[in-house]
Every structure is written in C-alpha cells, then in structure tokens.
Amino acid sequence: MTAQFQKIVVADHMDRISDLPSHLIDFILQRLPLQDVVRTSLLSSKWRYKWTSIPKLDFSNDFFQKCRDLELHEVSSTITEILLIHDGQLDEFVLCIPENVPIKIESLNKWILCLSRKGIKELELWNLQTDPCETPSHIFSCQGLTYLQLHNFKLSTVPNFSSFKSLVYLMLVDIIFESSAIDLMFGCPSLVMLSICYCSGFECINVSSPALEVLHVQGEQVIKSICLEKAKRMTDVSLMADNPGDNFDMDTISNLIKGLSEVESMCLTEGYIQIFSTAYTLPKSLQKPLNCLESLELEGVNFDDTTELLFVISLLKSSPNLEKLFIQGNYSTGVDLPQILEKSKYNGCCLSHLLTVHIKAYKPCENTMNFIRFLLANSTSLELLTFCIIPAHDQQHHSISSVGRELEQMARASKSAVVEFIDLSFD
C-alpha cells in the first residue's frame, strides 16, 4: 500500500464532526430529539459529556412519545436527572405536558427553580391537559427571561414581584389571571411583543410598557377596555373577537382610537369591527388620522350593514398611506332587504398609495360591488385587486354570472390596475 493511499484511508476514517468548533456541535445537537442527544454520550469518551452543555432542552411531543412505556414517576425522574446533569448555560427550555401525563406541580416547580439558577432566557410551558395547571411560583425568580410562552395555566404572582425586567416577548394562551397578575405582566418595561389569546379573569388591558411594538389580542368577546396611550412605539395591532358582547362603552372606543395613531399594520375581526363601527358617529375631535397605517386586514365585515360599511370607508379615508388591504365578508343569513349605502357616502377620498386589494365575500351584493367601484376609482397607484366569491350552501349562481363583466367595465384611476375575479362557489 502506497503512502499516498494510506493517507486517503486514514482521512476517510477521521472523526470530522468531533473536530468541529463547539458552537457548531451545539448547533447540530439542538436539532436532534433529546433522547438522541443523550445517546451521543456513547459515541466515544470525547462525546461523553458534550450533550450536558447544549443551550436548549426540549421536552415536547417527541420526548414523551419515546417515554410512553415508562411510569409517570420515571418520566419525571428522567427530566429531573437531565436537568441536574446538565452543566453549562441553559438559554432555552421547552416543556409540553401531554394530556395523558399529569405532571405534579411539585416537580414542575423544582424544574423551574433549577432553570432560574441557570439563568434561563427563553421558556415555553404548554399544558395540553383539560384542566389548567397552577403556574409554578419559581417562574417569577427567572429574572433573566426575555421570552415567555404559557398555555393553559392559572396565573397569580408572588409577594414582592414587580415585573420581568428583561422580558421582550410574552405569549399567553388560555390563561386564567388571578389577583393583580395582569397589571404586573403587562407592565414589563422591555416588553416589545404581547400576545393574549382566549385568556380570562380580567376586563381591562392597560399596556404600560413604553417599548411595546406588537399587540395581539384574541378572544370570544371584545375586551371591555384596552388602553394603549403609554405604548408610544406601537406599530402592529391585531384585535380579534368572535362577537362584541355587551361589555364595552364609548371610552373603550375612544381610548383605542387614541392609541392607534402610529400603527403601521392593523387587523380587526368581527367583534371589534362592530364596536369600531360606532366610532363613525364619534365627534371629530376623537377621530384621529392613521397616517402611518400601511397594511389593513378586516375579517367579518357585513356588507349588508351600512354602519359597518361606513366605518370601513371612514377608516380608508383616514389612512392616506395605506398600501395593502384585505377584507373578508361575514356570512349573513336572513337578510331579505339589505341596506344599500348611498353612493354619495363614497365621495372625498384619494388612496394614492394603495397597491394591492384582496376581497373575499359570500355573495356579490350591491354594496360590495359599489365598494369595489369606489376602490378602483380612487386608487391611483393600484396594481392588483382580487375579488373572490366563497362557497355558501344557499349561493345563488345566477347572481354571480355577470360579476366578471361588471368588474371589467368599472372605471379605474390606475392605468396599470389588474382586476382578478375568482369564483369558488362552483368548486
């Protein structure tokens, strides 16, 4: 065997992965299932303790699937042992508690205490069981947290807790707030993104973080009061509710309007559209222009309700720099005599920056067609308008047949505007 050939053979058997920089090895290990990460300790003496310093531990579906033959205490003991053996900086921790594995709160508290001592920065706790779980009290000792996501927990604070000073991203889903927890959680001074989905135990949201840029609120009913006056840097707002409920008042509307003047992207769904429609009748002093708004999404607009349609038109007239518009109509039944909005109400608007429009509706009613006509006539830079008819069980096909021709005949302020009509009702 020649010397050159011997070098080739040796090179083929080199352990190239072991010689990679440690941060690249950590990068690889973090993308493996946790059990496989631990198994790397069997590769060689060099690999025996490499897994103990990875910066992320993920105990989610894959982990619990591979533990399905273990007793509950064995699963908890495995998690505890891994945390105790881990020797190094732990930045991220994910725990997804399955429906069939009831983790004891004592074990959860012990794990979170261990994380707080390791300076955890990003924490996700998912409780997939039917009943909400008590939030482990030691979570409030994790003062280095920058990212926190909680699902299906009861949230109450501990004495002497003021806020998470470093928290930047906070996502809460199916959380039951107790005592004054909501004010402390929403008052984190570094908070940039706040998402609240189907939470309960509160009526008002007072966002006091001056750094907040993104707010996402979703629930069955409109929140009674949302105050955004201190959130001066807000640029992205989503307010989503299935129905308005009976819990709001005029102050709710005026406070919301005052807090939206700097927003660049906004999404409203049916419940909030209904209460904001009242804003059309507010005094001019409370109707502030949305000069920064570039993207607008409205889901659940009732084109048969002139009050809602007037609100949408008023919103467009108050948004001179709008570039993207998406509107989805709601499915209304039992409306024999829909209200027809006077054409004079569409006057006095120039949407000079509007580029794309996507409208989805269940039927091409007269108000919908007049609204499209209004957009085409006032959007001087429009590039594309798409009108899509969504299938409905009582769809009248004969009313749709002439829609395409009518759209083509509408006057357009933009010579480059393309109008696309998509009829999904036949699919």
Closest CA to 219 of 177, 156, 265, 191: 177
CB-count exposure of residue 316 (10 Å: 0-12, 13-18, 19+): buried
Q: Which two tokens stand for residue 208?
A: 């006091």
Within a domain: 362: yes
**3-state secondary structure at position 272:** helix
Within a domain: 295: yes
Within a domain: 394: yes
Q: Please compute Rg for the chain using Cα positions.
A: 28
Decide if 151 contacts 174 (C-beta within 8 A): yes
- pLDDT given for residue 261 in this prediction: 81
CB-count exposure of residue 7 (10 Å: 0-12, 13-18, 19+): exposed
- How many whole angstroms separate alpha carbon 279 and alpha carbon 416? 34
Within a domain: 372: yes
Within a domain: 225: no
Within a domain: 100: no
Q: For every one of its 427 residues, what pLDDT tens digit does the chain have, with 9 covering 90 and above?
A: 444 433 333 344 445 555 556 666 566 666 666 656 555 554 445 555 566 767 888 898 888 888 888 888 888 998 998 898 888 888 999 999 998 888 889 999 999 999 999 999 999 999 999 999 999 999 999 999 999 999 999 998 778 788 899 999 999 999 998 876 777 777 788 999 999 999 998 888 888 788 999 999 999 888 888 888 788 889 999 999 988 877 666 666 766 777 788 899 999 999 999 888 876 655 454 467 889 999 999 999 998 888 898 889 988 988 999 999 999 998 765 444 556 777 666 776 789 999 999 999 988 888 899 999 999 999 999 999 999 988 765 555 546 678 888 999 999 999 999 999 998 866 5
Range of the domain at 377: 289-331+341-427
- pLDDT given for residue 1 in this prediction: 46
Q: How many domains does the chain have?
A: 1
Within a domain: 396: yes
Q: Which two tokens stand for residue 407?
A: 């759209």
Question: Which residues, other chains included, contact 321 with Cβ-Cβ below 8 Å and sequence gap of 6+?
Answer: 291, 292, 293, 294, 353
Residue with structure tokens 């629930």?
A: 219
